[in-house]
Amino acid sequence: MNERALSFIRNVLAVAYKETMLLRRSPVVLGAVVAQPVIFICLFGFVLSSKPANVDWAVLDQSRSELSRRLIAEIQASGYFHPRREVDSYEEGITALKRGEVLALLVTPVELARDGAKGQAEVQILLDGADPIAAARVGGYMRAIAAAVDTSAGTATVSRTAGRPVEIRQRFWFNPTLADSHFLLVSLAGMLLTNLCLSVASFGLVSEREDGTWEQTLALPVSVVELVLGKLVPDVMLCYGVLALAIIGPGVAFGIWPAGSIPALVVLTLPFVLATLAVGVFISTIAESVAQSVFISVFAIMPSFVLSGVMMPYELMPMGPRWFGALAPLRWYQIGLRRIVARGGGFEDVLIPMLAVTVMFAGLLAMIRMRTKPRLG
């Protein structure tokens, strides 16, 4: 009995050793482990943001009053905008909008100053809806800036009498400046691990089959379970290495360290990594060549990035795509990541995501068994 257990462990380690030697030379792994973390951290940390910046805008200032100049100066000073373009007519402004030269057009009416004195100042903002995300935000910013301009300056201050105003105090938790880089970097581990697991698993198996080494391995005096475990050990270790990179990188570069329980993160990662490796293995059982297998995994990565919510919040998607995205292990892992890393949660907060990826892993194993049985037999 003891002898058996020893030989089992020895066999697993032997296969693991062989796999590690192979991995060391694989360009795919080098790309996924070395190049991608660096590229992703730079992109997410420095480059990508859906926050408007350098926005081109135009002003049709019909009022030409002290108040309108103050409003324009306030908007300009907010830092989101390029120097404004002055237009002389409504048509000119609309044409600029239609050509996509400006994103927003501010129109002040002739009677702005007069209405302002009465406390009824109104301006119009026209937006290029062709760029909906930027338009929605820029509209919001301009409206907020306008609302804060004090129209009663110089005249008597409005008396605060009957029925006190209710004050709304608001705060953004976890990410006070609402930075997109925070959102993207928190889920970095999920993206890197998906890329790594899918390429290692789908690539490795098919190329072995093409080279004929798969059949040779099957002829070895090791059982299938030992073989699979031996193949998994180095992959999983590699994944934990990448996880460490994905945590330390954003921490050192941007000060984004996990706020919650690290042990919970380590435990949650295991079923996720196994499930994603299983997806890769399943792909390689369908594919007939390396090219096909890589092709399928590339196009499996794409929708899982898009629909899982690592790049854009899945809560905003309509129900169909939203449910479809729930089939990707990455969806549940990123939910867990955000709970632990961003919001400081612990084990009890990630039980459901953990259960979901474990169930997926079990289901995929069953599917792989069904696909591989005839070939091995």
Partner 1 sequence: MRLSTLKTSARRLRTLMLREVRATLRDPFTLFVMITVPLGSLLAFGFIVSTEVHHIRLGVFDGSSSELSRRLVAELSATDTFDPVIFRSRLEVEEAMIGGDVGAAVVFPADFDRARLRGGVGDEAAQIQVFYDGAEPVLAGNAEASLRGIVESALAATAPNAEGAAIVRSNGIHATVRPVFNPTLDGRPYMVAGTFGFVLTFLTTLITAISIVNERLTGTYDQLQLTPATPLEILLGKMVPLGAVFSFDLLLMMLVAGVFLGTWPEGSALLFWLVATFYVATSLALGLVFSATSATAAEAVQKTVLSSIPLIQLSGFIYPVRSMPTVVGWVSQLIPATHFIEVSRAIYLRGEGIVDLWPEILIIVAMGIGLIAMALRTLESRA
Strand order in the sheet with 104-108: 85-86, 57-61, 104-108
Amino acid (1-letter code) at residue 182? H
Binding mask 35-64 for partner 1 (x = CB under 8 A): xx--x---x--xxxxxxxxxx---------
Binding to partner 1 by residue 129, rule CB under 8 A? Answer: yes
| Token pair 């420095």: residue | 46
Q: How many residues in the shown chain lie near partner 1 by CB under 8 A? A: 113
* Residues within window 225-244 making contact with partner 1, judged by CB under 8 A: none
Mapping DSSP onto H, E and C, the string for 262-307 reads HHHHHHHHHHHHHHHHHHHHHHHHHCCCHHHHHHHHHHHHHHHHHH
Structure tokens at 148: 């804060």
Classify strands 57-61 and 85-86 as parallel, antiparallel or unpaired: parallel
Which of 347, 326, 175 lies closest to 264, judged by CA? 347
Binding mask 183-222 for partner 1 (x = CB under 8 A): x--x----------------x---x---------------
* Residues within window 135-154 making contact with partner 1, judged by CB under 8 A: 135-137, 139-140, 142-143, 146-152
Q: Of 25, 173, 374, 376, which lies in the binding site for partner 1, with binding defined by CB under 8 A? A: 173
Structure tokens at 105: 């057009």
- CA Rg value for the chain: 29
* Residues within window 272-301 making contact with partner 1, judged by CB under 8 A: 288-292, 294-295, 298-299
Which H helix or E strand runs over 25?
helix 2-25
Q: Of 160, 221, 373, 376, which lies in the binding site for partner 1, with binding defined by CB under 8 A? A: 160
The least CB distance from residue 242 to partner 1, in Å, is 16
* Residues within window 308-327 making contact with partner 1, judged by CB under 8 A: 311-313, 315-318, 320-321
Binding to partner 1 by residue 339, rule CB under 8 A? Answer: yes
The least CB distance from residue 8 to partner 1, in Å, is 33
